[in-house]
Amino acid sequence: MLSAGDDLISISVANPREAQDLALRLRESQAYLEVVAGLDSVVVQFDIASKDRNEMEKQIAEVMALPGSTRATAQPVVEIPVCYGGEAGPDLADVCEQLGVTQEEFIALHSGREYQVDLVGFTPGFAYIGGLDKQLNVSRRQEPRVCVPAGSVGIAGGMTGLYALQGPGGWPLIGRTSFILFDAAADNPFVLVPGSKVVFVPVAAM
């Protein structure tokens, strides 16, 4: 457990599943302003004007000492159509060159398996999806883009990221989907949640 800023406590965990599980259990308490899971950490924000850091750390340690949940709920598989490369995925050619694969090989590797959503974050509905084929591990762009179109599909650090909204972004873009990932007006605005199962289905056009 480490300070991550004046009102933040960061807890390292082994993987996204543990992060989600710990965050869920911490969120049962009303003591924190925010409990946010990352891929290998959970960060708690607390009100430093009314709460003591040592006391917060003690409470978190108590929750961590309890056994985690091993619940696995059956999830339907969500099919996400992806138009790979071209204008929809402006970085696909570069990524393939970097990885030494053809675009056809890339698409076969990327769409040929079932994934699970590890994390929803960044912007409303942005889904981090782990389990990418080990051959497809690339890094983020050195300079983030100012404007990534909604529906863009990026990869970085062994993950696929789905940009629900238009906005800035640093992941190389390999394609785009017409699938609506976030709808503020819907009863349930968040279509994908941590644990959702997804497959990518190549389509010729948006």
Q: Which residues bind other proteins (CB under 8 A)?
A: 2-8, 10, 23, 27, 33-43, 45, 48-50, 53, 119-126, 128, 137, 139-140, 142-144, 146, 156-159, 164-168, 170, 182, 184, 189-190
CB of 49 to other proteins, least distance (A): 6
Nearest CB to other proteins, comparing residues 135 and 137: 137
Least distance from other proteins to the Cβ atom of residue 159, Å: 8
Name which of 69 and 166 has its Cβ closer to other proteins.
166
CB of 201 to other proteins, least distance (A): 24
Q: CA 43, CA 23: separation in Å to the nearest integer?
A: 8
Backbone dihedral angles phi then psi of residue 102, each to the nearest 5 degrees? -80, 165
- Least distance (Å) between residue 38 CB and other proteins: 4
Closest distance to other proteins from the beta carbon of 153 (Å): 16
Query: Which CB sits closer to other proteins, 106 or 128?
Result: 128
Nearer to other proteins, 40 or 97 (CB): 40
Choose between 147 and 204: whose C-beta lies nearer to other proteins: 147
Q: What's the per-residue H, E or C state across the chain?
A: CEEEECCEEEEECCCHHHHHHHHHHHCCCCCCCEEEECCCEEEEECCCCCCCHHHHHHHHHHHHHCCCCCCCCCCCEEEEEEEECCCCCCCHHHHHHHHCCCHHHHHHHHHCCCEEEEEECCCCCCEEECCCCHHHCCCCCCCCEEEECCCEEEEECCEEEECCCCEEECCCEEEECCCCCECCCCCCCECCCCCCEEEEEECCCC
Q: Which is nearer to other proteins, 42 or 92 (CB)?
A: 42
Contacts of 187 (CB under 8 A, 6+ apart): none
Minimum distance from CB of 120 to other proteins (Å)? 5
